[in-house]
Amino acid sequence: MITLFGLLSLASTGIALIMGTLVISRNHREPVNRIFFALCLAIAYWSFTKYEHRIAGEYDEALFWIHISFVWALPSAMLLHFVLVYTGNERFLQKKWPFMLLYGPSVIIAVLTIVSDDYSGLPKMRPWGWSIEPLHGRLTIFSYFYISLLTFSALLICLRFFLKQDDPRKRIQSGLTLAGISVYAIAPALSYILLPLLKIRIPDISSVTFAVGVGGIIGYGIWKYDLLSMTPADAAEKIISTMSDALLLIGTSGEIKNINNAALDLLGYEQAEILGMSAEKIFPDGWLKECILSREGTSGSIEGVSEIETIVLTRSGEKTPVSLSSSKLHNQRKQLVGTVCIARNISERKRAEDLIKMQSEGLISRNAELTALYEISNVVRNSLDLDLMLRQALDTITSLSVFNIEYKGGIFTVEGETLRLLASLHHADNFLRAHDGIKLGDCLCGQAARSGEIIVSLNAREEDRHTKDYPEISDHGHVIVPLKAMEKVTGVLYLYLPANAEIDNRQLKLLETIAAELGIAIENARLYTETRTLSLHDPLTGLANRRLMALELDKALARAKRTGKPFSLVMADIDLFKNYNDLYGHAAGDEILAGIAKLILEEIRRIDLGARFGGEEFLLILPDTDLDEAVEVAERIRCKAAATEFTCSATLKTSGITISLGVATWDDSIGSEDILVARADTALYMAKNKGRNRVESWKRMNIT
C-alpha cells in the first residue's frame, strides 16, 4: 500500500533525477556539475529503496529494502566530495589516501550492513556456519556517526566559503548550497532526537531531506546562478590579482563587477568603493557606451580583442592616459555576460612622446641626457631617507644608456675627515673592508673629495694615485665625481669603466649636473634629519622637548590601556637652582642642567624617555615599570647626582648638587596623561617640602 511517506520518497527520487539532469545539461564539462550529477543519481537510488521499503507488503521484504538503503553512507561521502570541488579544495583528493579515506569506509559500511542480517539472503550462503549478524547494530551506530561527520564537515567547509564571498551572485549561490546541506543535516536530527522527545513519531525522512536539500536547493543554485563562466579558477585569480596591468570586469549594465590590485592602484579607489559602481565614472569620454555596452556579436566565449588609447578618471579627478584592450565575454550558452578590460598606464610614455615631439632629430642625445636627469631627479625627490635614496640613485645612474659605464660603483658621504660608503654595487667583502672609513686624500675617492675635482682613471691597476688594493681587483677604469652643495663637498660618486675606455666632455658635464643634484640631496637629507631632531629635542640638554614628551606620553598611555601593563613617571627638579644661577651665572647653570641631563640618560634604559619639562625640571617616562621599580630608578639618579662633581666652567667645578624627585604610576583609574603628570608633580613638591634631596611617590603620600 502506498503511504504518504512512500510518495515523499518517490517524489524525492524524481527531484534528484530532474535537478541532476538540469545541471549536467547546462555544462557537462564542469567537474562540479559532473560530481553533482553523480550525487543526484546516488540520492535517487537511495530514495527509491526507501520508497520500496514503505510500499512493501511483507515484513521480510520491508526489512530487505531498508537494509539495502544503507548505501546512504556513499551519498554522504559524495556530498563532501562535491563541496570540496565546489569550494576549490579538490587538491585534498588528488592523492590516493585521502580519496580512499573518504570513500573506503562508506563502501565498507554499506556492504557489511547489507550482509549482516538474514533478510538480505546473503548470510544463508555461508558454508562454514560463521555469522556476522551481531555486527549489524554496531555498524548502524557507526554509520550514523560517520555520516554525521561527513555532513557537518561539508557544512563547515561551505560555511567558511560562503563567508568569504564578496560577489553578490556568488554569495547567493554559495548561500543556497549552504542552505541545502543545512536542511539535510538538521532534518534527520529532528526526526531522530527532537520529535521523539516530544513523543511525535514519524518515519525516517533522511532520504527526502537529502533530495530536497541537496538535489533541490543546491541544484537550483547551480542551475540558476551558474557563475562558472564568469568566475576564474583560483589559480587564474591569483595571476590576475598580481598582474602589473589593470584589469576590470564590466557587466552588461555597465557596472564594475570585479577589479584587480593594479586597477585599484591606478584609479585610487578601495575595492569596496568601486565594486558595483558605474564604469562611466571611470571612462568619461563616451567610449564605454560605444564599445563595452554594445551587444553586437554572440559567437564564442570571448570576442576579438580591440585596443585603443583613452583616458581614465581617478578618484582624485585626475585624467590618466591608458592603452586599453577590451573583449566581449560570453557564457557557454553564447549569452553576453560582460566585457573584460585591460588598461596600461601610459602617462610616462605620453610625457616622453610629448617631449620627443618638441625636439628635432639633432637633439636625440640631449633628450637622452634629459631623461637621465629626470630619472635621477625622481629618485632624489621621492625620498629623504639618505641610505635608500643613494642606493636608488646609484642603481639608476649605472643603468643609464648615455654613459659607457659598467653596472658597478658606489657613493661615499663625507663626514668630517672620513668617507663613509653608504651605497655600493657588486663589490666583494674584501673591497668593502678595504674602503671602510677611508680618509680625505686617501686613494682616488679621497683625493676627489679633498680637491673637489673630477678624476678620470683609465686603469686603476696602473694608477699611482690608486692606493687601495685587494685580491679581487681587476683591470678597470674609474670616473670619480665629487658631490657638492654650495661648493661644499658632501660626497663622492665613483663609477667603473671598461679598462682604457674614454669618457667625453659631454658625459662629464652630465655627470657634474647629476652630482650637483645628489650633493644637494645629501645636504637636504642631512638638514631634514638635523631639523627633525632639533624640533623634538631640547638644544641645551639633548633631552626630548615638551612636544616629543607629549607624543610619547600619549603612546605610553594608549599602550598601558591596551595591555594592562603599568608605566611610571618621574618628575625631577634641581634643588635651589636659582641660587646657583645667582651665584655662578646662567652659563654655569646651563652646564649643571646639561650635566644632570647626561646623568639621567646614563641611568635610564633605551626604551625610557628623558625630557626637559621646563626650567630646571625633568620628566622621565618609564614604560613597563611599576611604582617600586620607578622609585628605585629615581633613588639611583638622586644618589648619583649628589655624588657627582659638575664642571661649570674651565676654572669652576662644583659638587653637592641635589635633586628632588616625585614618582607616580598609572592605574586604570587615570583617564589622561595630564592627571598622571599632576600626580608626579605633586609628589615632587612633597619631596621639596620634606627637606629636598629625596624621592616621594604619589601612592606613599596616601593622597586620594
**522: exposed, middle or buried (Cβ count in 10 Å: 0-12, 13-18, 19+):** buried
More reliable by pLDDT, 462 or 339: 339
3-state DSSP assignment of residue 252: coil
CB 310 within 8 A of CB 324: yes
Where does the pLDDT of residue 632 fall: very low under 50, low under 70, confident under 90, or very high at 90 and above? Answer: very high
d(CA 56, CA 170) in angstroms, rounded, equals 44
CA–CA gap between residue 481 and residue 493 (Å, rounded)? 5
Q: How far is CA 160 from the centre of its chain?
A: 21
Distance CA 450, CA 439 (A): 10
What whole-number percentage of the chain has pLDDT above 70? 78
| Residue 659, SS3 per DSSP | strand
Q: Which domains does the chain have, with CATH numbers?
A: 4-224 (1.20.1070), 234-349 (3.30.450.20), 368-533 (3.30.450.40), 537-701 (3.30.70.270)
Strand order in the sheet with 418-425: 418-425, 409-415, 488-497, 477-485, 455-457
Q: What is the 3-state secondary structure (H, E, C) of 25-39?
A: HHCCCCHHHHHHHHH
State how far the alpha carbon of 265 is from the alpha carbons of 259, 260, 307, 315, 531, in Å: 11, 9, 21, 10, 33
Distances (CA, A) of 214 to 19, 72, 86, 226: 10, 13, 13, 16
Instruction: Give residue 131's pLDDT.
Output: 44
Q: What is the pLDDT of residues 470-485, one digit of tens each?
A: 666 677 888 888 988 8
- Higher-confidence position of 248 and 237: 248
**Residue pointed to by grid coordinates 515484513:** 59
For 101-154, write each residue's pLDDT tens digit: 777 787 777 777 666 655 444 444 444 444 444 455 566 677 777 778 888 888
Query: Could you tell me which of 643, 550, 640 has the C-alpha nearest to residue 602?
Result: 640
697 backbone dihedrals φ, ψ, rounded to 5°? -125, 155
Question: Could you tell me the end-to-end alpha-carbon distance of the chain, in angstroms, rounded to an integer?
Answer: 88
Strand partners, 114: none
Q: Give the pLDDT score at 333.
A: 66
- Mean pLDDT confidence for 499-525: 81
- Which residue would you say has higher pLDDT here, 553 or 402? 553
- Buried b / exposed e across 253-280, counting CB within 10 Å, b at 16+? ebebbbbbebbbebbebeeeebbeeebb
Q: For residues 409 and 496, is the Cβ–Cβ distance under 8 A?
A: yes
As a whole number of angstroms, the distance between CA 449 and CA 483 comes to: 8
3-state secondary structure (DSSP) of residue 512: helix
Spatial neighbors of 580 by CB under 8 A, at least 6 apart, are: 574, 588, 589, 592, 654, 657
Q: Which of 19-28, 255-264, 611-620 has the lowest mean pLDDT?
A: 19-28
As beta bridge partners, residue 696 has 662
Tell me, rounded to whole angstroms, the distance of Cα 528 from its chain centroid. 30
Question: Band of the pLDDT at 688, cuts 50, 70, 90?
Answer: very high
Pairing between β-strand 455-457 and β-strand 477-485 as defined by DSSP bridges: antiparallel
**Block residue for cell numbers 654655569:** 588
Handedness of CA 242, 247, 251, 254 (dihedral sign): positive
Q: Name residue, grid cell 601610459.
A: 346
Give the whole-angstrom CA distance, residue 603 versus residue 635.
Answer: 11
- Average pLDDT of span 271-295: 74
As given in the structure block, the three cell numbers for residue 372 are: 637621465
Whether the Cβ atoms of residue 574 and residue 500 lie closer than 8 Å to each other: no
pLDDT reading at 532 higher than 80: no
Which is higher by pLDDT, 167 or 84?
84
| DSSP-derived secondary structure letter, 469 | -
Separation in Å, CA 585 to CA 443, 580, 592, 660: 50, 7, 11, 22
Contact 170, 237 (CB under 8 A): no
pLDDT range class, residue 645, cuts 50, 70, 90:
confident
> What distance in Å separates the CA atoms of residue 587 and residue 596, rounded to the nearest whole number?
14
Mean pLDDT of the chain: 77
Give the H/E segment covering residue 106.
helix 96-115
The mean pLDDT value for 261-282 works out to 87
652-661 average pLDDT score: 83
pLDDT band at 652 (very low <50, low <70, confident <90, very high): low
Question: Alpha-carbon distance 570 to 605, whole Å?
Answer: 14
Contact criterion met (CB below 8 Å) for 449 and 440: yes
Answer for the pair 522, 483: CB distance below 8 angstroms, yes or no: yes
Residues labelled catalytic: 616
- In order of 77, 402, 427, 609, the CA distances from 389 in angstroms are 60, 21, 19, 30
The grid cell for 487 is 661648493
The Cα 637–Cα 694 span in angstroms is 11
Query: Cell 527520487 belongs to which residue?
Result: 13
Angle CA(658)–CA(608)–CA(386) in degrees, nearest 5? 120
Residues 6+ apart with CB under 8 A from 524: 384
Alpha-carbon span 498 to 405, nearest angstrom:
7
The C-alpha cell of 191 is what? Answer: 526526526
Global pTM value: 0.34
- Residues forming beta bridges with residue 697, ordered by sequence position: 663
Q: CA 126 to CA 134: how far, in whole Å?
A: 15
CA angle (423 as vertex; 421, 427 as ends), nearest 5: 85
Nearest to 679 by CA among 664, 694, 692: 664
Rounded to the nearest 10°, the torsion over CA 523, 527, 533, 535 is -170
